[in-house]
């Protein structure tokens, strides 16, 4: 049984209240611990069991940054890129975000079915973009100049279901993520990565190899593993 803890004091009140309306009155200890690490700029992987609430761990820092960034003159002083292995998972996440009814959150799915006119709006205005590694490789990165304002403000990259990226497929995704880091640096940003994974023996190693950076793992025992 998880241990409920208080909300981190940096979580935007609008975000906290939105989760409260959804019946989430407090985060679990492992969610708060992972969120705290990410908020401090530490790359982290949440490797806990099914239905353990991995999403809240990355949503606390990601949504807080996006909502606070809405106060910038261009409306997106901070942006978030969410990557999932399937369009279905991204659309589920988008539906959950929409149901939170955050007034300052501009979120959108960017995939092969997205019409051209919507793509233009997403590039210019969205603060929370949900896509997949294929679209990142084929569209966003080759056309990075059109994504300049989004990349310049890129604060978090969420890699959901990261245990899926194994073998040759995993090596390809790892190269795409390294390219994303280089392109983000071109525009002056250094996003924090938050990965979510099914429980694995050494998630800090596998996630670190995928991202190409040192990663701290939060596991079922809520003890951080890996470099701090």
Beta strands in 95-181 (DSSP E): 107-109, 128-131, 154-159
- Phi, psi dihedral angles at 28 (to 5 degrees): -80, 165
pTM for the model stands at 0.94
Residue 45: C-alpha distances to residues 60, 95, 147 (Å): 14, 23, 26
pLDDT digits (tens, 9 = 90+) for 11-66: 999 999 999 999 999 999 999 999 999 999 999 999 987 767 889 999 999 999 99
pLDDT digits (tens, 9 = 90+) for 66-120: 999 999 988 889 999 999 999 999 999 999 999 999 988 999 999 989 999 999 9
Hey, CA dihedral for 176, 178, 180, 183, is it positive or negative? negative
> Which residue did the predictor score with more confidence, 133 or 225?
133
On the question of pLDDT at 140 being above 70, the answer is yes
- Strand partners for 195: 45, 159
């Amino acid at each position: 049984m998880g241990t409920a803890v208080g909300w981190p004091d940096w979580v935007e009140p609008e975000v906290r209240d939105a989760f409260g309306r959804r019946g989430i009155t407090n985060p679990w200890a492992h969610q708060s611990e992972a969120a705290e690490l990410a908020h401090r700029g530490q790359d982290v992987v949440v490797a806990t069991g099914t239905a353990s609430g991995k999403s809240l761990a990355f949503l606390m820092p990601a949504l807080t940054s996006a909502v606070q960034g809405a106060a910038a003159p261009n409306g997106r002083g901070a942006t978030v890129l969410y990557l999932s292995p399937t369009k279905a998972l991204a659309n589920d996440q988008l539906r959950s975000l929409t149901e939170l009814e955050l007034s300052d959150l501009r979120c959108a799915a960017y995939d092969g079915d997205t019409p051209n006119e919507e793509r233009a709006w997403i590039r210019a205005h969205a603060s929370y973009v949900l896509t997949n590694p294929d679209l990142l490789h084929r569209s966003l990165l080759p056309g990075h100049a059109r994504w300049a304002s989004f990349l310049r403000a890129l604060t978090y990259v969420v890699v959901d279901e990261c245990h899926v990226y194994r073998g040759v497929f995993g090596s390809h995704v790892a190269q795409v993520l390294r390219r994303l880091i280089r392109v983000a640096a071109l525009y002056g940003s250094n996003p924090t990565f938050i990965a979510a994974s099914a429980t694995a023996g050494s998630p800090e190693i596998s996630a670190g190899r995928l991202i190409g950076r040192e990663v701290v793992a939060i596991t079922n025992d809520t003890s951080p593993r890996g470099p701090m």
